[in-house]
């Protein structure tokens, strides 16, 4: 026979305090792996374009000529494939979620990476042309 099966749990819950948290006053629980949003560092990107080719939802666009890196936040699914693919560590995954918005967000970054001067091995005519 069971009629008051739930009683123990109910009493414990009654005196045990809330199981939820007062979000947003208390921030949501995250872990070190949480895929919140993709962050971009324009100073280290060498415009290889791997991220834009790997992105399964085509959220990332790279204009090599204009040196512009764009991410469409509405398309991005935060899968982290670009983060894994980036050979220069320019793309990172942040733990925080972006706030809700009411219009489409396309973030643009101008790549500021400057190719370091090659240590001149051959002081030939080639370097003057480049």
Q: How far is CA 16 from CA 12, 13, 19, 97, in A?
A: 6, 5, 8, 30
Closest approach of another protein to the CB of residue 48, in Å: 18
Q: Rule CB under 8 A: is residue 48 a binding residue for another protein? A: no
Q: How far apart are CA 72 and CA 58, in angstroms?
A: 8
Query: What part of residues 16-45 is at the interface with another protein (CB under 8 A)?
Result: 19, 29-31, 33-35
Q: Rule CB under 8 A: is residue 10 a binding residue for another protein? A: yes
Q: Rule CB under 8 A: is residue 57 a binding residue for another protein? A: yes
DSSP symbols for 28-80: PP--TT---EEEE-TTT-----HHHHH-TT--EEEETTTTEEEEETTT-----
Structure tokens at 129: 């042309």
Closest approach of another protein to the CB of residue 45, in Å: 22
Closest approach of another protein to the CB of residue 8, in Å: 7
The footprint of another protein on this chain (CB under 8 A) covers a number of residues equal to: 25
Cis preceding-peptide flag for 82 (omega within 30 of 0):
no
Chain residues binding another protein by CB under 8 A are 1-3, 5-6, 8-10, 13, 19, 29-31, 33-35, 54, 56-57, 77, 79-81, 84, 93
């Amino acid at each position: 026979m069971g009629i008051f099966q739930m009683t123990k749990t109910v009493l414990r819950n009654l005196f045990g305090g809330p199981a939820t948290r007062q979000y947003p006053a208390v921030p949501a629980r995250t872990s070190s792996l949480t895929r919140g949003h993709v962050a971009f560092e324009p100073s280290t990107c060498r415009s290889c374009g791997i991220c834009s080719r790997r992105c399964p939802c085509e959220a990332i666009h790279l204009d090599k000529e204009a040196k512009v890196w764009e991410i469409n936040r509405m398309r991005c699914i935060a899968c982290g494939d670009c983060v894994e693919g980036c050979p220069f560590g320019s793309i990172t995954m942040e733990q925080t979620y972006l706030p809700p918005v009411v219009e489409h967000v396309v973030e643009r970054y101008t790549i500021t990476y400057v190719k370091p001067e090659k240590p001149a091995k051959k002081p030939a005519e080639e370097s003057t042309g480049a």
